[in-house]
Amino acid sequence: MAFQIQNLEGSALLAFPEKKSMLLSELTRRFSAPLKDAVHYGDLIYLKDFNEVPYFARTVMKKPFLVKFDSIGDAAAALKNIQRSWAPYQYTCFRRGQLIQEKLPYVNLKNRNFPVKIPSSPIGLYTLIDEHTMIASAETTSPLPAGSLIFNEDHENPPSRAYLKIQESLSLASYFFNTELPGEGSRCFEAGACPGGWTYVLVNLGSEVYAVDRAPLADSLMNNPKVKFEAHDAFTLLPEQIGECDWVFSDVICYPERLLSWIKLWLESGRTKKMICTIKMQGEIDWDLVKEFASIPSSRVVHLGYNKHELTFIHVEP
Ligand SMILES: C[S@@+](CC[C@H](N)C(=O)[O-])C[C@H]1O[C@@H](n2cnc3c(N)ncnc32)[C@H](O)[C@@H]1O
Does any ligand 1 atom lie closer than 6 A to the CB of residue 198? yes
Closest CA to 12 of 114, 42, 36: 42
Q: Cα separation of 158 and 155, whole Å? A: 7
Predicted confidence at residue 127, as pLDDT, reads 98
Tell me if 108 sits within 8 A of 72, measured CB to CB: no
Closest CA to 312 of 18, 21, 56: 56
Q: Is the pLDDT of residue 175 over 90?
A: yes
Q: Specify the 3-state DSSP secondary structure of 269.
A: helix
Atom of ligand 1 nearest to the CA of 194: 27
Tell me if 244 sits within 8 A of 263, measured CB to CB: no
Does any ligand 1 atom lie closer than 6 A to the CB of residue 215? yes
Query: Which residue has a Cα nearest atom 24 of ligand 1?
Result: 192
| pLDDT band, very low/low/confident/very high, at 29 (cuts 50, 70, 90) | very high
Does any ligand 1 atom lie closer than 6 A to the CB of residue 260? no
Pocket test for ligand 1, best of 253, 261, 281 (most atoms within 8 A of CB): 253
CB-based burial, 134-158: b 16+ in 10 Å, e otherwise = bbbbbbbbbbbbbbbbbbeeeeeeb
For β-strands 86-88 and 124-130, DSSP reports them as parallel
pLDDT in tens, 101-137: 999 999 999 999 999 999 999 999 999 999 999 999 9
Does any ligand 1 atom lie closer than 6 A to the CB of residue 191? yes
Determine the average pLDDT of the residues in 198-214.
Answer: 98
Tell me if 246 sits within 8 A of 274, measured CB to CB: yes
Q: Cα separation of 123 and 293, whole Å? A: 28
Side chain identity at residue 9, one-letter code: E
Does any ligand 1 atom lie closer than 6 A to the CB of residue 236? no
Q: Which residues is 135 bridged to in the sheet?
A: 66, 127
For β-strands 133-137 and 65-69, DSSP reports them as antiparallel
Atom of ligand 1 nearest to the CA of 234: 20
- Furthest-apart CA pair in the chain: how many Å? 69
Sequence-ordered list of residues with C-beta below 8 angstroms from that of 29, at least 6 positions apart, any chain = 284, 285, 287
Burial of 215 (0-12, 13-18, 19+ CB in 10 A): exposed
Does any ligand 1 atom lie closer than 6 A to the CB of residue 276? no
Atom of ligand 1 nearest to the CA of 233: 20
Q: Cα separation of 262 and 65, whole Å? A: 45
Atom of ligand 1 nearest to the CA of 249: 6
Does any ligand 1 atom lie closer than 6 A to the CB of residue 208? no
Does any ligand 1 atom lie closer than 6 A to the CB of residue 218? no
pLDDT in tens, 281-296: 988 999 999 999 999 9
Q: Is the pLDDT of residue 196 over 80?
A: yes
Atom of ligand 1 nearest to the CA of 235: 19
Query: Which residue has a Cα nearest atom 18 of ligand 1?
Result: 233
Q: Is the pLDDT of residue 255 over 90?
A: yes
Distance 250 CA to ligand 1 centre (A): 8
Atom of ligand 1 nearest to the CA of 200: 8
Predicted confidence at residue 311, as pLDDT, reads 98
Q: Is the pLDDT of residue 195 over 90?
A: yes
Predicted confidence at residue 282, as pLDDT, reads 86
Distance 193 CA to ligand 1 centre (A): 5
Q: Is the pLDDT of residue 58 over 90?
A: yes
Predicted confidence at residue 94, as pLDDT, reads 98
Does any ligand 1 atom lie closer than 6 A to the CB of residue 233? yes
Tell me if 149 sits within 8 A of 66, measured CB to CB: no
Determine the average pLDDT of the residues in 58-87.
Answer: 98
